[in-house]
Amino acid sequence: MRDAELTRQKILEVAADEIHKQGFTATSLSCILKRTGVSKGALYHHFDNKLELGYAVFEEVYTPQFLEAWRPAVEVEDPISGLIAFFSSYCQQADLDDLMCGCPLNNLCQEMSSVDEGFRVRILSLQQQLNTLIASNLDRVSDKLRDGVDTSQAAYFMVASFHGANNLAKSSRNTELFEKVIAELCSYIKSLST
Amino acid sequence: MRDAELTRQKILEVAADEIHKQGFTATSLSCILKRTGVSKGALYHHFDNKLELGYAVFEEVYTPQFLEAWRPAVEVEDPISGLIAFFSSYCQQADLDDLMCGCPLNNLCQEMSSVDEGFRVRILSLQQQLNTLIASNLDRVSDKLRDGVDTSQAAYFMVASFHGANNLAKSSRNTELFEKVIAELCSYIKSLST
DNA sequence: TTTGCAACCGACCGGTAGGTCGGTTAGAAT
DNA sequence: ATTCTAACCGACCTACCGGTCGGTTGCAAA
């Protein structure tokens, strides 16, 4: 056959990029078709409709990307310093264009979670997976943490702050400001350990 | 004359509500016209186009609303406890519908700051005004703060975390989770004072 | 060699969006 | 009473969106 799986992957890849940059609603299928060179008929052969394409992008592109990005940060001997190193290196490598696009999860959460239930549950599931990943690794070194730290609550707080920092960077178009907020986040994380 | 200012205010009010709930792009003029009972001609008499209407809503509705909501929290003798009380009461009064809509500033920041320069500078300006408001009031009681606290950085961090908490609440549709993140934010704020 | 069907094609459809424009009306100024 | 114009009206325009559908093509199995 004319490699159907390749076609599907090509659509998924371009759609992921486009949704990341423009948002889901603002992403037009015609733009995806133009960039991929795929016809509308082919796209609708692989995906029932735009929404299903969005779900597939979320599940097959964003979710693994996201979890694999965070995993190394916490699956080290000392997740506290691992998280600090993760945020710090993110600051250094991220240029303005990256910051302007923001985090796909954060973007979709903002745009779609109050509009479409299918997106909402997928976003929530990813957020819970991430929270479990962080919290369980913090629990692993609980003897090194301050007394009375709720690790799940702290993990949610860290991710929320990180997303908030991304939003700020978006409007300020200022990497320094982003770095400052991340610096404050790191000092908070430090304060969790004894 | 047929009260032109009233017409303008009616449009502004409904548009503010609609943009808050649907987002700027998803807000249709025809919906605003239906709700206000104003004709398209009248709307275009008062505003050059949709974008200018959006700017007017931001400047004349959101900006004052926002600053007046935060001001009492920091313009008290002890801004630390003022902020904690502000966040706590926000938690209690906010129901699920409020949380689903989110904060207009946060929403627009996410949706428009990377798409339209006019929105971006207005959002940035409001963020800086808010930062100044918080930081200057923290400076006022700097003798009661921990050594080495960068008040502007801390203020940006608080607002970023608050917005992040709103996003989380949106996708989780869970006020308890929101309260948890806010609780963690309050414990961070407490840690700023000696 | 024929047949069957997954894969693909693209013209076309209905709906809605923002925006335009020639005409009407209310009411203040003269 | 007349005039002038800000305020208002709504039919209409173009552009684009997601989605449909009858037709075509390439490949593998029979």
Question: Three-state SS across chain B?
Answer: CCCHHHHHHHHHHHHHHHHHHHCCCCCCHHHHHHHHCCCHHHHHHHCCCHHHHHHHHHHHHHHHHHHHHHHHHHCCCCHHHHHHHHHHHHHHHCCHHHHHHCCHHHHHHHHHCCCCHHHHHHHHHHHHHHHHHHHHHHHHCHHHECCCCCHHHHHHHHHHHHHHHHHHHHHHCCHHHHHHHHHHHHHHHHCCEC
- Estimate in Å the CA B130 to C1' C15 gap, whole number: 43
Tokens of A78: 């000392």
Write out which nucleotides of chain C lie closer than 7 A to a protein Cβ: 6-11, 16-23, 26-28
Decide if pLDDT at A124 tops 70. Answer: yes
Q: What is the mean pLDDT of chain A?
A: 96
Question: A188 contacts in B (CB within 8 Å)?
Answer: 157, 188
Is residue B125 within 8 A of residue A176, CB to CB? The reply is no
CA distance A13 to chain B (A): 22
Between A3 and B25, where is the model more confident? B25
CA distance B39 to chain A (A): 27
Domains for chain B: give ranges and CATH numbers: 51-191 (1.10.357.10)
Tokens of A166: 């991304």
Confidence of residue B1 (pLDDT cuts 50, 70, 90): low
User: What's phi and psi for A193, nearest 5 deg?
Assistant: -85, 160
Smallest CA–C1' separation from B4: which nucleotide?
D7
Confidence of residue A1 (pLDDT cuts 50, 70, 90): low
For the segment A133-183, what is each residue's pLDDT rounded down to a tens digit?
Answer: 999 999 999 999 999 999 999 999 999 999 999 999 999 999 999 999 999
What would the mean pLDDT of B142-150 be, rounded to a whole number?
A: 95
For the segment B88-140, what is each residue's pLDDT rounded down to a tens digit?
Answer: 999 999 888 889 999 999 999 999 999 999 999 999 999 999 999 999 999 99
The answer, as to whether pTM is greater than 0.85, is yes
Question: Three-state SS across chain A?
Answer: CCCHHHHHHHHHHHHHHHHHHHCCCCCCHHHHHHHHCCCHHHHHHHCCCHHHHHHHHHHHHHHHHHHHHHHHHHCCCCHHHHHHHHHHHHHHHCCHHHHHHCCHHHHHHHHHCCCCHHHHHHHHHHHHHHHHHHHHHHHHCHHHECCCCCHHHHHHHHHHHHHHHHHHHHHHCCHHHHHHHHHHHHHHHHCCEC
Q: Taking the CA atoms of B11, B49, A24 and B157 in sequence, report the sign of the dihedral they define.
A: negative
Tokens of B181: 């993140």
Question: A154 contacts in B (CB within 8 Å)?
Answer: 184
Q: Give residues lining strand D (CB < 7 Å).
A: A 1-2, 27-31, 40-41, 44, 49-51; B 1-4, 7, 38-42, 44-46
Q: Tell me how far the alpha carbon of residue B123 is from its chain's centroid.
A: 10
Q: Taking the CA atoms of A9, A131, B157 and B79 in sequence, report the sign of the dihedral they define.
A: positive
pLDDT given for residue A129 in this prediction:
98
Residue A113 has its nearest CB partner, among B109, B115, B170, at B170
Is residue A118 within 8 A of residue A55, CB to CB? The reply is yes
Task: Report the distance separating Cα A102 and Cα B191, nearest Å.
Answer: 29
Pick the closest to residue A66 from A112, A127, A11 (CA basis): A127
Q: Do A109 and B171 touch (CB under 8 A)?
A: yes
Is residue A51 within 8 A of residue A118, CB to CB? The reply is yes
Protein residue closest to C5, using CA and C1': A1
Residue A163 has its nearest CB partner, among B120, B167, B184, at B167
